[in-house]
Amino acid sequence: MPDTGILIGAHRVAAGDGRTIEVEDPATGKIIAHVPAGGAHEVDAAVTAARKAFESRAWSRMRPLDRARIIETIARKIEENAAELALLESYDNGKAVHHALAVDVPAAVDIFRYMAGWASKIAGQVNPISGDGRQYHSYSVREPIGVVGQIVPWNYPLAMAAWKIATALAAGCTIVLKPSEVTPLTALRLAELALEAGLPEGVLNIVTGYGHEAGQALVEHPGIDKIAFTGSTRVGKQIVQTAARDLKRVTLELGGKSPSLIFADADLDKAAIGAALAIFFNSGQVCLAASRLYVERSVYDQVLEGVAKVAQSFKLGHGRDPDTMLGPLVSRAQQQRVLDYIDQGRAAGAEIVTGGGTGPTEGYFVEPTIFANPDPDAAIVREEIFGPVLVATPFDDPEEVIKTANNTRYGLAANIWTRDLSRAHLTARKLQAGTVWINTHGMNDPSAPFGGVKESGWGREVGEEGVLLYTETKTVTALLDD
């Protein structure tokens, strides 16, 4: 267990009023840790530490290659502590240890390693200004935006924290990060490893606490220059309203209701496995989960049967069992939310192909569930469920299905299964989504900008675009006397 105190500079502190939050193992419901319930007071202390670190220039003005070395050392520290981090993530979030080891921890390592490179590559430009005919030298530089507030959710607690922290560090920012109150443990451990890697104190501060207290205080704080948020669209909208008071910069990675499109000419076995993993991996608690399945009518029954078979083959279990494919949902509240959607789906007349129950009795499990032929206006088709629930519908017209796929307020991701290269790329052009995968799903990489259109977010994370969103452009123009 990491030190569970709020991290301000290099010091661990309790919440001033002594309140704590219970951290649960979702496979058993047992309390495994307590973390402080930080609020405005702790956020203020953390912002002060981050501001001091930013202005001391110990980080933003460090030699870029030295900054790169520290970021790379954090990657190495995560690698060296992979087993421990994966176990911690499993106890905290419920996911299988072997999944955390194969996906979450490598994602954290990769982003720090990738962003280490960017620390020495953020360049500017010379502006070829015409002006008034006199001689000018004009250039634009990218400066770190300052002190950033980062708020992350509970579905990929380590990877989401790593994506945000590594990118902000590469740009030279200092950070106050608030993990989800449901899964705070790996972010706290990551911060310990960052200090061990030589990150100067105050550059990364972690305030545990509830969203409406610590999160809200972070968004309201006048000392924060940018809020980077990953979470629900509902909270994202609240953050925009609050941040508008002082026009803080805001980037948002929000929810989704992503479609899978399977055409009759696809490799149908691969497509069925791909579509099943696209919704059920991490028990459906994935922002980019493809929760709507559209299949060309001539192969609809065959594909649906294939996806159902794959779903039925997934073993539900606690995260420490090496045979577990699907862990519990993160909390009782999340389990109940998903079960309520399943009840609504049944009540709206959609046919259950598989699942619909809770599986093993102990822990917050929900079976992988597939609804066929739902009413297109039903809540299960329109709303993000954030659980292992798929809705499947046949289509006849390839143009019409693109319209149907786009008929949502979200636009995070989509996937297409076909062997026809032109169809694949033309469909990708027409889909309203931040990311489109062809004959695969979920391949995220630190080099590929990730984010959503419409109500799935603002801005992009990772890649060059992600780094630049942690900078402001300054133009300097000098009149040359000749």
Is 256 near ligand NAD (CB under 6 A)? yes
SS3 8: strand
Of 156, 187, 160, the residue nearest 38 (C-alpha): 187
Contacts with ligand NAD by CB under 6 A: the residue count is 30
Number of other residues whose CB lies within 10 A of the CB of residue 167:
27
Among 287, 304, 307, 462, binds ligand NAD (CB under 6 A): 287
**Residue of minimal Cβ distance to ligand NAD:** 211
CA distance 72 to 169: 11
Binding span for ligand NAD by CB under 6 A among 36-44, 174-182, 262-270, 340-348: 174-182
| CB of residue 84 to ligand NAD, shortest distance in Å | 23
CA distance 391 to 388: 10
| CB of residue 456 to ligand NAD, shortest distance in Å | 6
User: Helix axis angle, 157-171 relative to 82-93, nearest 10°?
Assistant: 120
Binding span for ligand NAD by CB under 6 A among 209-217, 243-251, 266-274, 292-300: 209-217
Is 215 near ligand NAD (CB under 6 A)? yes
What is the phi/psi pair of residue 286, to 5°? -135, 130
Cα angle value 383/310/26 (rounded, 5°): 60
**Residue 136: half-sphere exposure toward Cβ, Cα within 13 Å:** 15
Output the DSSP codes for 389-450: EEEEEEES-HHHHHHHHH-SS--SEEEEE-S-HHHHHHHHHHS--SEEEES------TTS-B
| CB of residue 382 to ligand NAD, shortest distance in Å | 14
Among 197, 219, 380, 468, binds ligand NAD (CB under 6 A): 219
Determine the residue type at 228.
A
Is 93 near ligand NAD (CB under 6 A)? no
In the region spanning residues 98 to 157, those forming contacts with ligand NAD, defined by CB under 6 A, are 151-155
In the region spanning residues 455 to 474, those forming contacts with ligand NAD, defined by CB under 6 A, are 457
Nearer to ligand NAD, 264 or 379 (CB): 379
| CB of residue 136 to ligand NAD, shortest distance in Å | 42
CA distance 93 to 271: 29
- The length of the chain in residues reads 482
Binding span for ligand NAD by CB under 6 A among 31-39, 195-203, 251-259, 307-315: 251-259
> Both tokens of residue 376?
């297109």
Among 36, 144, 202, 211, binds ligand NAD (CB under 6 A): 211
Give the active site residue among 287, 296, 384, 455: 287
Cβ(412)–Cβ(277) under 8 Å? Answer: no
Among 212, 315, 403, 425, binds ligand NAD (CB under 6 A): 212
| 287 catalytic per annotation | yes
Is 255 near ligand NAD (CB under 6 A)? yes
> Both tokens of residue 173?
């920012």
Give the active site residue among 72, 89, 253, 461: 253
Nearer to ligand NAD, 424 or 469 (CB): 469
| 461 catalytic per annotation | no
Q: Which one-letter DSSP state was computed for residue 56?
A: T
Place of tokens 């307590």: 34
| CB of residue 100 to ligand NAD, shortest distance in Å | 15
Nearer to ligand NAD, 37 or 424 (CB): 37
E strands along 297-426, which residues? 351-354, 369-372, 389-395, 413-417
Cα angle value 287/291/292 (rounded, 5°): 135
Is 386 near ligand NAD (CB under 6 A)? yes
Written in H, E and C, the secondary structure of 161-190 is: HHHHHHHHHHHCCEEEEECCCCCCHHHHHH
Among 73, 150, 174, 180, binds ligand NAD (CB under 6 A): 180
Nearer to ligand NAD, 142 or 189 (CB): 189
Among 24, 42, 253, 367, binds ligand NAD (CB under 6 A): 253
User: Helix axis angle, 105-118 relative to 157-171, nearest 10°?
Assistant: 10
* Residues carrying an active site annotation: 253, 287
Residues that bind ligand NAD (CB under 6 A): 151-155, 178, 180-181, 210-212, 215-216, 219, 230-232, 235, 238-239, 253-256, 287, 384, 386, 412, 452, 457
